[in-house]
Every structure is written in C-alpha cells, then in structure tokens.
Structure 1
Amino acid sequence: MSKSESSCLATKPDTRNIEARAWVLSFASGDVSPEKERAFADWLVASPANRDAFYRARGLWDGMAEVDGIEDLLMDQNNISALKRPVAPTRRLMLGGGLAAVLALAAGVGLLAHQPAAPVESILIATQRGEIRTFALSDGSEITLGGASRIQGDFTDQSRQLELVAGNAYFDIARDENRPLTVDTGGVQVRVLGTRFDVKRRADRVSVSVDSGHVSVRAAAGEARDLLAGDKIVSTPVQGLGKIEKFDLQEELSWRSGRLSFVNAPLRDIVADMNQYSERPVRLTAGAPGDMRLTLSFSTQQIGQVLAGLDAAYPIQVKENDTEILIMRDF
C-alpha cells in the first residue's frame, strides 16, 4: 500500500470526544480559571452532542478513577498533546465548585434535561505487544484481546456499545434480548444479541469470523450481511463488504493459544500479525514482495526463527537493528 493510500485509510479522530476528555481532565486537575469555566459553558451548550460526549467522558473517568496512569492513557488515546498533566488530580470528578455551577447553568436553560443514562460499565481494556489476555465484563461476557489491541465503550441499561480501536478480539457475549451489543471498527459495525465471534482490525481491512450463533455486519456505506457459525467476511474501504466465505475455525482462532496460522496469505498480512507479538516492529521496505503468498503456522515466540527461515528460503533479506526488523527484496 502506498503512503498516500495509507493516509486515506487512517481513521480521523473524533474531535468532540477529544475535547470532552480534555475538559474532564481539566476539571479533575482543579486547574480551571473563571475564563475557562465560561469557555466550557459555551462549549457545553453549543450542541447536545457536546453534552453527551462530556457525560460519556466523565463516566469513563469515574469508572477508571482508581487505575494508575489513567490520565496518561486518556491523553495518549486522544492525542491531547497540548494538555497539561493534571496536578494532584481529584480521582473522582465530583460535582463541586465551578463544574457544579456550570452544569447548573446549563440545566437551567433546559439543555441538560435529557442527560444520557449513567453507564452501567465504562470499558477501557488493552493489551501490550506480545500479550494475550481475557477480560470479564459485568454482564457475563468475556473478551480476549490479541497483542497490541484496545477496546473502549460503555454499557448502559439500554445498550452495549464497544469500539475495537486496534488489533483483534474474540468476543464471547452473554445473551441479552433487551440490550444488543455493537462493535464498531471505524468502517464496519457488528451487532449481536449473544454469540461468539472474532474481529480483526487492520489499516486496510476488517474481518469478522463467527464461531457460533448469528452476527449482523454493516458497512459504513449501508450494505449489510447476516453471518452464521462458520461464516467469515472481509470489508475494505474501497470494495466494502466482500463475499461470505467459510473458514477453518482451528486455524482462524489459533492466536488465542499463542499460535499464528496462515494459508496462502500475503506476506504483508503475516507481517501485520507478527507486529502484535514481535518485541521489535517488523517493517516491509519499499520494493519488498508484500504480495508474496505463504502458508505458515508458528508460535508467537518463534517470529525470529520464522523470519530467518524466510530469508534463507525466499528472495528476501531480513535485516535487524536495535529498533526494528526490516524485510527487503533480495536483488
């Protein structure tokens, strides 16, 4: 993929949510001047969407208040590079001082009359490179994340909404007829009542594989497909939803036990999966045969040996330095 194509596929940040979390961090730090309070009031009443974004951000903060480093995570998540680190933050964002006054003012003009339901559970789960971990949710669901993966969202009395921000995840969702669960990946939305399925998000595609039950998949353009157990679909920004195909369950989900399996897969896809587990980033240089197709199966602990084997058996060179591993064409 060219640099320009990659740029086109990048997900634009949600500015409103970024601003909302910046306000939450400001109030939590206690560093809010009267001028900033007025600016916040203006922002809050400018749009009901701003109000909803603020309450979501506040719920996320309160739900994660006891987690060390949550300030850094929120700042990094939203690219709030100019936001000053909170000093001696109030871990719970209490309705006191200027915040209470501003919210009371907004309520007085009727703009907070329809405050969204408080989250039952605010969710922010993530793994490091090389880590595979299962998280239990309060509704009885479980989510297993592959390496370098992240999910955020919230559950309310009316809905269960998640976003797979990066990486891949296996969902074992407790059935709730009154609260469908949705997983957003930027360009694709998955909707279920209760089932088991796998979602993988890459820069140029999203894949959904169903282990059991029924899954509805909808692309940004509006096209939709219904998948049953054993069905898999891939969506790209250019082509949208592809055809429903059958897949090998053992191979597709082998990552959960620390094994990566590929059948006639392009080298660029193999490298993308390696990068979730390799200690150093693996990068295809310009001219490297990223479309070369391979059939491989190996442990996530064997990435170095696999790359050495590819160097010996195929027309590529693998070069390592202290910070990354480069794959280039062997001229």
Structure 2
Amino acid sequence: MTSQSISTDVYEQAAAWLERLDNGPLDKLSKRRFINWVDAHPTHKQMFESMLITWSSPTLERALADAKQTITLKDHLRCTPAIRWWQTAFICTALVIGVIAWQLTPNQPSAIVHQYATNTGEMRDIRLEDNSEVTMGSASDVYIKFSDRHRLVNLKKGAAYFDVTSNKQRPFEVKIGSASVVAVGTEFNIDRGQYFTDVVVHEGAVEVAGSRDDKPVLVKAGEQIRITGRTLGLVQSIDISRTVDWRSGWLELDNESLHYLVERLNRESAKHIRIDSPALNDIRVAGRFRLKDPGQALNLLAEVYGLKIEETAERYTITRLP
C-alpha cells in the first residue's frame, strides 16, 4: 500500500470519527474502538488533530467530554501519550467554542476562530476581516478561521451566500463535512441540507471536491453542482438571472422531494413541521413557496398534492388524506 493510499485511508477514517462524534456521545463499544484507532498509529492522532478545527461544534464538544471521561477511568491508558494528547485536544476544542486563539501545531500560524449562528427565521450579514461578505440564512451555523495563508469557513448547517474578496495567495475555502469549495475571488451560494448540499456560482468560479484527496471539479458562473456525502453530481447550467434562492424569501422548486421542502421551511417556521410517515418523504414537489409564511406554503402543498396538514400549538404535521 502506498503512502498516498495510507494518507487517504487515515483521512477518511478521521472524518468518519468526527462525523460520529458530531452526532452526539458514542456508546461504550464505539468509545473503545475510537481510542484504539487513535492509539494505533501516530498518523491517526495527527490527522484527527489537524481536522478537529474544521469540525468544532457544541455537539462535538459534549461528545469529546463524554469520551474523555470514559477514557481516563481506564487503568491501562492512564498517563499514556494518547491520553495526554486527548486532554489537549479536548481543551483546544473548548477554546475554539469560546472564540479565542488556538495554535494547532508548532509549524502552523495561530489564528482566531469565530462562530456565527442564526436563529429560526433570522438572516445575518457578516463582513470579514478581508472585506469578504457572508450572508447567512436562517438556522445556520458557521465557523470562520483566517490565517496569513488561508481563509477557512466551516458551514456546519444551513445556507450562506459568499462574496469573496480576491487574494490568490490566500485561498478561501468552505468546508461542508468532508467536501470543500475553494475560491479566490467570486460569489457563490451554498445550501447544506441533511442529505446533500447545493452549490450555485453567481460570479467567477470555484473548485469543488468531495474530499481532500479527490481531484476538484471546476464550477463556473451560471453553473451548479450537488454534493452528496463525498460524491459530486454533474455540473449543470442554470440561468442566474432567473434563479430564486432563499435570500429572496422564496423557495422555487422543480421536482424536489417533500423532505427537501420541509427541511427548508423548518428553518423559518416558529412551529416545527414534521412528516407523519417516511413514505411521504420522497414525494416529488414543484412550485414557488413563501419561506416566511410556512403555513401558507403548507396549505398550498396540501391542495396541490392531496395531503392533509394538522396544526397544533407546537407543530404542523403532514399526513395523507384518508
């Protein structure tokens, strides 16, 4: 096995563990497997530590705390290098959440990490230190880390529109799980959902990759691409002048799933919207829906697609008509 394939395997393994930790505390068996993986080879520790900064979140912090508590109770791991590293990594994660400087390695310049989040129904404009601008959609969460050589954004959830100031010596990278979108100076929109992410380029061009070691795909102005996990879909041409996205307050769909629509309406709705049966998730829907009025959008949906909307003080429930 070549060193390149080893690096790729370790990267994918580290990304998989980070994804699992970001979903919440591990069970007892998974904790043991994780620590065994970390302790198996120095490259595992190094890879996990280098990726930790781009995956930081409150959920991850809690999972790390839970795993750390379990690890320190194990006699054979007491005072080992792996434990000392784990304690350091855990402390570093807490510092990231606290928005202060953290130096990942002795050879990497320190940088400030900022977290920005929006509530349900809220949009927010952010001007970054390089004069790039980010417009965050509702119920979105981003981490931003700038160094002298790199501009890094981690879009944890939701949607964001990026207007990037050109700097060829300082690439602007947006991470979406293991995938990435890299720009120099351009404008693009990223909408991250539960199952896939859409990237639409409005000006300039970006390079999109499913993982660190994948060959990137060039996506130019007037084109879009869908990312599913580490898999890239086909680049498709669109008419930007006629494109309607979340910034307009409307959602225009053509043959998307009901799950896709409900997920985006939930970003705006004060009442949670749930689909009663998994069998309804894949119903294909089309039309223009007003994001700021989820009740009206659901009534339209029910009328056109023969569904029933049940409303209580806390939620909307979508069911089939009897």
When normalised by structure 2's length, the TM-score is: 0.70
In structure 2, relative to structure 1, the CA distance for the partners of 1:192 and 1:325 (3 Å cut) is same
Counterparts of 2:144 and 2:82, CA distance in 1: 21
Contact 2:290 2:296 in 1 (8 A): no
Q: Please list, as runs of the form range in 1=range in 2, the aligned pairs for 1:1-331 lying within 5 A after superposition.
A: 11-13=19-21, 17=52, 46-47=84-85, 54=91, 58=95, 61=98, 63=100, 114=106, 116-119=108-111, 121-220=112-211, 222-237=214-229, 240-250=231-241, 252-286=243-277, 288-331=279-322
| Deviation (angstroms), 1:299 | 2.6
Report the AA paired with residue 209 of structure 2: R
| Deviation (angstroms), 1:52 | 7.1
| Deviation (angstroms), 1:55 | 5.1
In structure 2, relative to structure 1, the CA distance for the partners of 1:164 and 1:318 (3 Å cut) is same
The one of the two structures with greater contact order (alpha-carbon pairs below 8 A, sep at least 6) is 1
| Deviation (angstroms), 1:42 | 6.7
Contact 1:192 1:216 in 2 (8 A): yes
SS in 2 for 1:260: strand
In structure 2, relative to structure 1, the CA distance for the partners of 1:128 and 1:215 (3 Å cut) is same
| Deviation (angstroms), 1:288 | 5.0
Counterparts of 1:300 and 1:19, CA distance in 2: 27
SS in 2 for 1:184: strand
Counterparts of 2:107 and 2:82, CA distance in 1: 12
Q: Give the number of equivalent residue pairs.
A: 260
Q: CA RMSD in A?
A: 3.5
Report the AA paired with residue 20 of structure 2: K
Report the AA paired with residue 13 of structure 1: L
Counterparts of 1:116 and 1:139, CA distance in 2: 20
Any idea what the Cα deviations from partners look like across 1:108-161, whole Å, max 9, x if unmatched? xxxx98163221x42211110111111111110111111100001310112111
Gaps of 5+ in 2: 1-15, 23-47, 66-76
Q: Point out the more displaced range, 217-226 or 190-199.
A: 217-226
Contact 1:211 1:230 in 2 (8 A): yes
**Displaced runs of 4+ in structure 1, greater than 6 A?**
18-23, 39-45
Counterparts of 2:188 and 2:81, CA distance in 1: 40
| Deviation (angstroms), 1:60 | 5.6
Counterparts of 2:161 and 2:105, CA distance in 1: 38
Q: Which residue of 1 aligns with 2:28?
A: none
SS in 2 for 1:116: coil
Counterparts of 2:271 and 2:242, CA distance in 1: 25
When normalised by structure 1's length, the TM-score is: 0.68
Any idea what the Cα deviations from partners look like across 1:83-109, whole Å, max 9, x if unmatched? xxxxxxxxxx9xxxxxxxxxxxxxxxx
Report the AA paired with residue 110 of structure 2: A
| Deviation (angstroms), 1:311 | 2.2
SS in 1 for 2:98: helix
Any idea what the Cα deviations from partners look like across 1:277-320, whole Å, max 9, x if unmatched? 11111111215533333322233222211212222332211111
Report the AA paired with residue 155 of structure 2: L
Counterparts of 2:305 and 2:21, CA distance in 1: 40
Counterparts of 2:320 and 2:99, CA distance in 1: 51
Larger CA Rg, structure 1 vs 2 = 1
